[in-house]
C-alpha cells in the first residue's frame, strides 16, 4: 500500500483494507510522502503534479482535525471522520496510480542491504568528531527509526520505510554540510549510499531510487 492509497482509505474515499491501522504518526508520514511524490514527479517534468500543490494545505488541515475531538483535545487515534474535496481526492488517485512507484518490500537480501548501510552510517557518525553531540544523536535517532520502520513494514504500509529512509538521507545531508571531515561522509556516500540505492532500487536504477526516498543532499537528486 502506498501513501496515497493509505490516505484515500483514511478519508473513506476508498474501502478500507482489513488489518490496516490509522493513527496520527502514519497519517502524517503518508502526507509527507505524498509531498515527496509531488517533488519527484514535478522535477521529472510532469507539470500537473506541480499544480497539485494547492491541494496540500487542505490535506494537512483535514488530517490534523481528524485527530481532534469535539472538546479540542488531540488523540493519536482518529477522533473525527473528515472528508476531503474532490480536488484532493483526484490528486491522491493520480499519485496512487501514476506516481513514482517504488517497491520497498523487504526480502532477506534487501533487509541485509539496509542493515549494512545503517551500520556504516553509525560508523561514520562515530568517526566524525567535528559534529555536535546533538547532531550526532539526531542522525543515530533517524537510523533507529529506519530499523523500526523495517519491522512495521510487515503490516503492509511500505511508505513508512520510504519516509524513514527519506528523513535519514536528509539527516546525512545536514551532517555532511556542516562536518569538518567531509571526506568521511564522501566515503560513506561512495561506499554505502550509492551501492545501497543501486541494490535496493535496482528495478528503477540508483538515481531514481535515491530521489524517490527523498535524499536531501544535492548529490542524490535527479537533474
**Same domain flag for 86 and 156:** no
**Same domain flag for 122 and 193:** yes
| Mean predicted lDDT score pLDDT of the chain | 80
Residues 6+ apart with CB under 8 A from 201: 102, 208, 209, 210, 212
The per-residue pLDDT for 205 is 38
Provide, rounded to the nearest whole percent, the portion of the chain with pLDDT above 70.
Answer: 82
**Same domain flag for 37 and 13:** yes
- Where does the pLDDT of residue 215 fall: very low under 50, low under 70, confident under 90, or very high at 90 and above? very low
Number of domains in the chain: 2
The pLDDT tens digits for 70-85 are 677 778 888 778 889 9
Residue 109: pLDDT over 90: no
Of 71, 98, 125, the last residue of a domain is 98
Residue 125 resides in a domain: yes
**Same domain flag for 49 and 131:** no
Contact (Cβ atoms closer than 8 angstroms) between residue 74 and residue 67: yes
**Same domain flag for 30 and 129:** no
**Same domain flag for 90 and 176:** no
Residue 147 resides in a domain: yes
Residue 187: give the domain boundaries.
Answer: 108-220
Map residue 118 onto helix, strand or coil.
helix
**Same domain flag for 165 and 112:** yes
Residue 94 resides in a domain: yes
**Same domain flag for 70 and 162:** no
**Same domain flag for 142 and 203:** yes
Tell me, yes or no, if the pTM score tops 0.75: no
**Same domain flag for 74 and 151:** no
The pLDDT tens digits for 15-40 are 888 878 888 888 988 898 888 888 87
The per-residue pLDDT for 201 is 58
Q: Which three cell numbers stand for residue 91?
A: 490528486
> Whole-angstrom Cα distance, residue 167 to residue 183?
22
Number of Cβ atoms within 10 Å of the Cβ of 118:
21
Q: Taking residues 42-64, report their average pLDDT.
A: 87
Residue 132 resides in a domain: yes
**Same domain flag for 112 and 204:** yes
Closest CA to 170 of 142, 191, 151: 142
Provide, rounded to the nearest whole percent, the portion of the chain with pLDDT above 90.
Answer: 30
Of 38, 63, 98, the last residue of a domain is 98
Of 98, 131, 161, the last residue of a domain is 98
**Same domain flag for 45 and 135:** no
Residue 103 resides in a domain: no
Residue 137 resides in a domain: yes
Amino acid at each position: 500500500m502506498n501513501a496515497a492509497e493509505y490516505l484515500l482509505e483514511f478519508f473513506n474515499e476508498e474501502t478500507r483494507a482489513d488489518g490496516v491501522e490509522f493513527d496520527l504518526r502514519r497519517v502524517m508520514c503518508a502526507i509527507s510522502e505524498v509531498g515527496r511524490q509531488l517533488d519527484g514527479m514535478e522535477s521529472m517534468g510532469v507539470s500537473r503534479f506541480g499544480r497539485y500543490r494547492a491541494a496540500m494545505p487542505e490535506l494537512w488541515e483535514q488530517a490534523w482535525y481528524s485527530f481532534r475531538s469535539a472538546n479540542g483535545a488531540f488523540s493519536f487515534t482518529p477522533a473525527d471522520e473528515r472528508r476531503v474535496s474532490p480536488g484532493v481526492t483526484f490528486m491522491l488517485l493520480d499519485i496512487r496510480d501514476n506516481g513514482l512507484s517504488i517497491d520497498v518490500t523487504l526480502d532477506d537480501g534487501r533487509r541485509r542491504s539496509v542493515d549494512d548501510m545503517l551500520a556504516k552510517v553509525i560508523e561514520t557518525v562515530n568517526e566524525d568528531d567535528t559534529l555536535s553531540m546533538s547532531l550526532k544523536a539526531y542522525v543515530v535517532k533517524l537510523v533507529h527509526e529506519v530499523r523500526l520502520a523495517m519491522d512495521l513494514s510487515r503490516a503492509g504500509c511500505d511508505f513508512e520505510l520510504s519516509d524513514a529512509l527519506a528523513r535519514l538521507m536528509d539527516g546525512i545531508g545536514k551532517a555532511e554540510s556542516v562536518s569538518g571531515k567531509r571526506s568521511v561522509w564522501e566515503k560513506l556516500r561512495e561506499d554505502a549510499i550509492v551501492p545501497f540505492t543501486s541494490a535496493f532500487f535496482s528495478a528503477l536504477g540508483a538515481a531514481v531510487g535515491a530521489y524517490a526516498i527523498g535524499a536531501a543532499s544535492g548529490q542524490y537528486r535527479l537533474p
